[in-house]
Amino acid sequence: MRGGSRRRRCNVHCALGRAVVTGLQGAQIVLGGGITALDAVLLTTTSGTSPIQVATQVDGFAEERRRGFLGSSGNGVVMRSTVTSAADVRPFRVAVPEEELADLRRRVDATRWPSRELVGDRSQGVQLATLQALAGYWTTDYDWRRAEERLNALPQFTTEIDGVTIHFVHVRSPHETALPLIMTHGWPGSVMELLDAVGPLTDPTAHAGSADDAFDLVLPSLPGYGFSGQPTDLGWGPNRIARAWGELMRRLGYPRYVAQGGDVGASVTDAMGRQGPEGLVGIHTNLLAPALGAAMPANTEQERAALDQVNTFRQTGFGYFLEQATRPQTVGYALLDSPAALAAWMLDHDTDAYYKISRAFVDGQPSGNLTRDHILDNITTYWLTGTGASAAREYWESGQAQARAAAAHQTPPQVSVPVGFTTFPGEIFRAPRSWVEHVYPTLTYFNEAGRGGHFAAWEEPQLFSEELRAAFRSLR
């Protein structure tokens, strides 16, 4: 690709009936199929230069078929099969052409840099030294192929729900008593931020845990994010996404499951708890999303401290939020044209995470798993899929839905399922237990973690996994 006017394209090769489909990157990808629902799916490495290549192999997974499962990539992970046709759930792999990566490096090298900020902190935005250090590493030492290998080592699939192609990672635990869990990322995140929690959650015995705490894990990419399709109609806010996730879990054959989310994922998980889809027995979040738009008590020292943090965020850290909630298309032009602009926009989220990421690039001192490579895995995913604008639109959708509800004097139903909540010290605000109980009267688990921030699963995957084990233990 050369020049900003040419749109990145995505070629998809599928061995399901040997169909070949080409579509705009980030748009819906619909593939035909020729295998039956009980044909085992093997995600195999294929050659060629198409960004996404899919292959299936029918094999004699007799035991898995007897138990009602579909086999996957030979790592002992299997997936329940209740689909009625091959068109319901399709295997998925990522393989980006080298020319796309070369173009990315060229664009980063050609960045037109602004003058240095006039302050010694982030109060004017992402600091020049931070972004230049990120850009330098991005074009010299960073290896996207390593990220591809991490993704493709896990079973990935797509399925169409309500007109949008949904990408998801589905890892079934080797432990028979595993509890199904659907976990939703946020912005500026993707499934990349959750990958290091896969092992501790699905195979706890290999990560200082008990087999009784295992989960079958479903990690969907939000509509308009990553490898999911971009919605072409209005209405894809948290409520509609929550309904889609209920359908996804039904489609995967899970009659009983729990849900977790942070950031936008917390809003989606909250909506699931209020909708109460069949099979959902509990939720956990690590951001008290309703507190950002509601009056909260300020009677205790903890409550007043949390309120001060919320007010600080609204006064000094709300820029990205306001822009995406009101004019996502405007900022989208920069996000799809300039990798440096995309990186800066994604780094300018919250103070704690920003300084941790800055230290990783400028000083070589990562915080937990917030390493240079992991941060760039996430940013590069946004760039290669061209989803900067479509992801931002979710904030607009959420804002529009809230405005309509307020105008109609509508209040959401209460959450009826048990709720778990963990406060991490570096979060935008540290929600006290009294606030969580105010929002969720069905609270059954609350804990204040000793470390970690807004991207808890990313930064501290082991600690995060331990919190989910504890939160859902009573529901097994």
Q: What is the mean pLDDT of the chain?
A: 85
Q: Where are the beta strands (DSSP E) in 211-279?
A: 215-220, 257-261
Going by their DSSP bridges, the two strands 9-14 and 164-171 should be labelled as: unpaired
CA 61 to chain centre: 31
Residue range 184-193, pLDDT digits in tens: 999 999 999 9
Q: What is the pLDDT of residues 23-36, one digit of tens each?
A: 323 322 233 333 22
pLDDT at 215: 98
pLDDT of the residue at 293: 87
Residue 35 is predicted with a pLDDT of: 28
Angle between the N-to-C axes of helices 372-385 and 351-362, in degrees from 0 to 180, rounded to the nearest 10 = 110
pLDDT category of residue 373 using cuts at 50, 70 and 90:
very high
Residues 142, 225, 395, 445: which is the catalytic one? 395
Which of 9, 39, 31, 57 is CA-nearest to residue 160? 31
Q: For the chain, give the percent of residues with pLDDT over 70.
A: 82
Name the strands in the sheet holding 156-161, side by side, starting at the edge strand that comes first in the sequence: 90-91, 156-161, 164-171, 215-220, 179-184, 257-261, 280-285, 419-423, 443-448
Residues 6+ apart with CB under 8 A from 128: 113, 114, 115, 116, 117
pLDDT score of 312 more than 80: yes
Clarify whether 355 is annotated catalytic: no
- The structure's pTM equals 0.83
Write out pLDDT tens, residues 244-301.
Answer: 999 999 999 999 999 999 999 999 999 999 999 999 999 999 999 999 989 999 999 9
348 pLDDT exceeds 50? yes
Every domain of the chain and the residues it spans: 97-476
The residue ranking higher by pLDDT, 34 or 112, is 112
> With 70 as the cut, is the pLDDT of residue 369 above it?
yes
Active-site residue, 395 included? yes
| pLDDT tens by residue, 425-439 | 999 999 999 999 999
In this predicted structure, the answer to whether residue 69 has a pLDDT above a threshold of 50 is: no
Q: How many CB atoms lie within 10 A of CB 99?
A: 12
Distance from C-alpha of 223 to C-alpha of 266, rounded to nearest angstrom: 15
Residue 229 pLDDT = 98
CB 372 within 8 Å of CB 361? yes
Burial (CB < 10 A; 0-12, 13-18, 19+), residue 268, is buried
CATH dotted code for 97-476? 3.40.50.1820
Whether 171 shows a pLDDT value over 90: the answer reads: yes
Q: 55 versus 222: which is more confidently predicted?
A: 222
Alpha-carbon torsion (278, 283, 289, 291), positive or negative: positive
Which of the residues 196, 213, 263, 377 is marked catalytic? 263
Statement: residue 59 has pLDDT above 50: no
Cα–Cα dist 339/343, whole Å: 6
With beta carbons less than 8 A apart as the criterion, state whether 469 and 326 touch: no
**Rounded Cα distance, 194 and 26, in Å:** 20
Contact 390, 322 (CB under 8 A): no
CA dihedral 58→64→65→69, nearest 10 degrees, is: -100
Confidence of residue 49 (pLDDT cuts 50, 70, 90): very low
